[in-house]
Amino acid sequence: MRLNDLDYDLPEELIAQEPNPNRADARMLVLNRRSGEINHSRFYKLGRHLRDGDLIVLNDTRVFPARLTTHKESGGAVELLLVRPAEAPAGAWIALARTHRPLREGLRLMLENGRALRVVGHSRPGRPIVTSDDGTPIESMLAEAGVPALPHYIRRPPGPEDLTDYQTVYAEKLGAVAAPTAGLHFTDELLTELDAAGIRNARLTLHIGPGTFTPVRAPEVEGHSMEAEWYTIPPATIAAIEFTRRIGGRVIAVGTSSTRALESYAVTGDTEGFTGLFIFPGFRFKLIDAMVTNFHMPRTTVLALVMALAGRDHILAAYRDAIRHRYRFLSYGDAMLIV
């Protein structure tokens, strides 16, 4: 698959800069992945497109305020995106750094509140490993001074409201740099309504890191390598999937992250661990039957994943239709149901 197979023209004015005031009021394009038939609906009507016995699988990861603004003692600004704790040394974190020059080992990075971090190594080029310079846990620094790492295409600074808007209503396990945005459309009321209709839900955790959103740059898509992300699927969710299979229901993944966790389990049998599974057209799905997702950027792994599920031609036709009907795109945008 060539890189330009993941291209389409996305009008910039359709990139949502703010969330929908009422989550479940988001528009929802329904795509039949076999016939290519398209219908237009609203997310609060999700239950009308599912059926008794279906199971929706939600990613309950919780976004932490991962972005820190720091400066060198010489004054140069350095923006850090804290990704996850490092294996060593104790208390250290792996970060992404936005700076003009590589950060040398031993460099101190100052926060506006007087605290400091120190670069103690690199996990790979561009990924410094940092520790607290005064013994304050980095988790505490993030709670004090961190802000949500909104995607680069949201062209405004994050505000206090993003701490709740950029979080699912069922978020529980802290550890994600970015939200599982397909889940942002759910409300507690809608989940209760679905359950009453016999459409149950189960949870898993995949902590979304920057690798999910790293653009595909390899000339051939198959040459792209995804950064691994940690996931866990609890026994109750495995049991719910097996029960759904026995009664003839469908397993509906909410988001590309839930899809990758479920298909990683189907491939390896592992219910916990790091997954670098890259799903692109030609992949044979073993576990999921349908999917709730958002509309994705060109040349991304998440767009490749939905093309793998529904077919490139069907996805591109659906995206053209969504653009024609002025859907809102990307993280704070509208939804798609692929059945």
Looking at the chain, the domain(s) classified CATH 3.40.1780.10 span: 3-63+161-338
Sign of CA dihedral 23, 57, 182, 35: negative
**b vs e for 21-60, b when ≥16 Cβ sit within 10 Å of the residue's Cβ?**
eebbebbbbbbebeeeebeeeebbebbebbeeebbbbbbb
Instruction: Say if strands 27-31 and 335-338 run parallel, antiparallel, or are unpaired.
Output: parallel
- Residues 170-179: pLDDT tens digits? 999 999 999 9
Q: How confident is the model at residue 243 (pLDDT cuts 50, 70, 90)?
A: very high
173 bridge partner residues: 61
Q: What are the pLDDT digits (tens) for 293-339? A: 999 999 999 999 999 999 999 999 999 999 999 999 999 999 999 99
The predicted pLDDT at position 210 comes to: 84
Compute CA distances 331 → 47, 149, 334, whole Å: 22, 12, 8
pTM score? 0.93
Query: What number of residues does the chain have?
Result: 339
Q: At the topology level of CATH, where does 3-63+161-338 sit? A: QueA-like (3.40.1780)
Query: Which CATH number, 3.40.1350.10, 3.40.50.800, 3.90.1150.10, 2.40.10.240, labels domain 67-145?
Result: 2.40.10.240
CATH 2.40.10.240 segments of the chain: 67-145
